Amino acid sequence: MKSQMAQTPKGPIEYTLLGSGPVVLVCHGTSSNCFSTDMLAPLVAGGFSVLTPSRPGYGRTPLAVGRSAAQAAEALVALLDSLQVETCAVLAISGGGPTGVALAAGFPQRITRLVLAEAVTHPEDRPNEPSYKNQAAFYGPMHALMWGMLGLMSRLSPRSMARQTLAIFSTHDPDDGLSKLSTEDIAKICRFYQGRSSRRGALADAAHSVGADLLGSIRQPTLVIHSREDNSVPFGHAEWSLKHIPQAELCEAGVTGHFFWVDPDYKRICQRLVAFLKADKK
């Protein structure tokens, strides 16, 4: 798969585009980019076009395109303009949550529906979370070296890498979680570490803000996909979203926590997701 570059008034934006049909704009998570499409096949099979930009600071999209969540949202609307996409749904994943929120709140005429998947929606409270210091340290000066070592481990010992991932990203017993994964699930986890990770993008994400007022201004139907066993972005973010977004509903993910797309329940989650996105088409 090759990416493309769009020259927009906000600057160059890298993106991939899969499938055909109504557009779903993906705000990928931290340590991802426009090539992070493993979890998106059910949307393509469901009849959607999946547009995945590399958010500012990731891939070939310069950070200067949008340093804040609001600026990143403006840049992604410029991308929609350049591709002549009038309206779309938004799927915001993990660290892409603030950008997805800013899109829905700031551009209600362009965004039809919002999905928040294990998404950060209360970034102001992140420093108080138990795992925050370890996450912040991971994106320190040695990040590139550590990411390279994880990529090597994922190739040499896939099952060990998958177990370690579950131990870090889920509060569920990692051995039990691993026993529920298929060979392809383990391969998906390993492919995550074989992609590229951007320290610059992660540090920019850490400075993003949302605020209860912004969440409260969202008028689009919103689906919150979140696991109570997420050890990376705690379930409190889902509760915060459900409390403040007027038309929000919950779809619980399962034992793999933050890695919801390799969960044994992912088929059920996808069915709920596709049905939610198609609701306006009935």
Report the distance separating Cα 260 and Cα 157, nearest Å: 21
Mean pLDDT of 227-251: 97
Q: Name the β-bridge partners of 226.
A: 252
In total, the chain counts a number of residues equal to 282
Mean pLDDT of 170-186: 96
Chain centroid to CA 14: 16
Give 38-95 pLDDT, tens digit per residue.
Answer: 889 999 999 999 999 999 999 999 999 999 999 999 999 999 999 999 999 999 999 9
Give 123-159 pLDDT, tens digit per residue.
Answer: 998 999 988 888 889 999 999 999 999 999 999 999 9
Q: What pLDDT is stored for residue 176 in this prediction? A: 96
Per the prediction, the chain carries an average pLDDT of 95
CB 34 within 8 A of CB 66: no
Which residues make Cβ contacts (< 8 Å) with residue 182, sequence separation at least 6?
A: none
Q: What pLDDT is stored for residue 263 in this prediction? A: 85
Tokens 């926590």 map to which residue?
257
Helices (H) and strands (E) in the chain, counts: 12, 8
3-state helix, strand, coil in the chain (%, to 5): 50, 20, 35
Chain centroid to CA 258: 10
Say what the pTM is: 0.95
Pairing of the two strands 111-117 and 4-8:
unpaired
Q: What pLDDT is stored for residue 281 in this prediction? A: 57
Q: What pLDDT is stored for residue 282 in this prediction? A: 46
> Can you name the CATH fold of 4-281?
Rossmann fold (3.40.50)
Whether the pLDDT of residue 205 is over 90: the answer is yes
Mean pLDDT of 11-37: 95
